[in-house]
Homo-oligomer: A and B are copies of this chain.
Amino acid sequence: MPSNTPRIGIVGARGAVGTEARSTLSQREFAADSIVCFGSARSEGTHVLYGSDSLTIQPMNSIANHELDYILCCADAQAAREVANSLHGDSTTIIDNSSAFRADPDVPLVIPEINADLLTPHTRLVANPNCSTIMMLRALDPIRRTYGIQRVSTTTYQAVSGAGRTGIEELHRLTRAYLNEQPAKSSVFPVSCAFNVFEHESAIDPETGFNGEELKMISETRKIWGLPDLSILPTCVRVPVERAHAQSVTVDLEHPACLTSIGEALRTHSIRVLEPGDPLTPHDAAGGDDVIVGRIRIDPDSQSRRVTLWICCDQIRKGAALNAIQIMECLIEQRHGSKKEHTPGVACAEEQNRKVLA
């Protein structure tokens, strides 16, 4: 049974999500017994910050030698599988940010505010959903609980940092070159991201024409909501924004809704809701924990059964690192009953769910 001041491993601690996991844990003054950082061969032996402490990156293949209660896996799917395969026994719980285990029916895919009830004291592997799925469902779930959802369509405005730290470097490099009328080539993205928008760079399914990001949003939404036949049509697009995604989302409802009660439903579930006319941009979400919703409109042609929203969220934070940490906090609370005062919205997620479903 892991301690309530657990020993935590962070895999991929120098990457965009790993960096955010370190700073989020540190900002939350997370009561950890120890933090051990792991990285690729390239990072091994280098140092990273945890608050004001300097930690040395340990080699990935030494992970089984460390006694860890939780591993926040902030690397790619291949690394995640290697980590999972290298561990024996049931003393460690892996919370994985990659796509490696998301589709596995035996692995819970968790957004704590929505389905923390899937976590048990015996859970040893949890998948963190894709960032676009997390922000969309976090905003839509209160609407689903209140009115029922028949169909979802979404068009995204995704920041380049979704492709990692090198995405931002490429945005800066190509933009500077463009402004200075100098030639420069893309390497992270298939086309130039300087003053340009383009289809998400994930592989395209030749049969349907959907890209990988869109297929993730479809399958993960269906799994998290337990609605295997839900109609969902995403279009995933990169925009030249450093950090925080935006989404335009439209939902067809089972029951007619009004603006006031939609706002109430969202606020009750700790979603930040802006008033009509208040501008909401990715800049407002960057670096923060909130999923923010603006521009709530009821389609006048829908007999109050179609609602469209504009959602912004820091996709590295709530869309990845923070969600994983919240999963860990839920597990610690289940195992030790220790309420985290700094995460009321999450620590009481199950309680909220019970209240709403009652």
The answer to whether A248 touches B231, judged by C-beta atoms less than 8 angstroms apart, is: no
User: In angstroms, how far is the closest chain B Cβ from the Cβ of A195?
Assistant: 5
The answer to whether A279 touches B199, judged by C-beta atoms less than 8 angstroms apart, is: yes
User: In angstroms, how far is the closest chain B Cβ from the Cβ of A122?
Assistant: 36
Q: How far is the CA of A157 from the CA of B232 in the complex (A)?
A: 21
In the complex, what residues of B have CB within 8 A of residue A296's CB?
209
In the complex, what residues of B have CB within 8 A of residue A276's CB?
204, 206, 209
**With A276-B206, A279-B198 known to touch, is A310 a contact of B235 (CB < 8 Å)?**
yes
In the complex, what residues of B have CB within 8 A of residue A175's CB?
175, 179
The answer to whether B195 touches A171, judged by C-beta atoms less than 8 angstroms apart, is: yes
A297 within 8 A of B: yes
A192 within 8 A of B: yes
User: Which residues of A pack against B, CB within 8 Å?
Assistant: 151, 153, 155, 157, 171-172, 175-176, 179, 190-192, 195-199, 204, 206, 208-210, 231-233, 235, 237, 239-242, 246, 248, 250, 276-277, 279-283, 294-297, 299-302, 306, 308, 310
Q: 19 pairs across A/B with beta carbons < 8 Å?
A: A153-B153, A155-B235, A155-B248, A195-B240, A195-B242, A196-B241, A199-B279, A199-B310, A204-B276, A206-B277, A208-B297, A208-B300, A209-B276, A209-B295, A231-B299, A231-B302, A232-B301, A235-B248, A235-B310
Given contacts A232-B301, A237-B248, 14 further A-B contacts (CB under 8 A): A151-B301, A153-B250, A155-B248, A172-B179, A190-B279, A195-B241, A197-B281, A197-B282, A199-B295, A204-B276, A208-B300, A209-B296, A233-B301, A237-B246
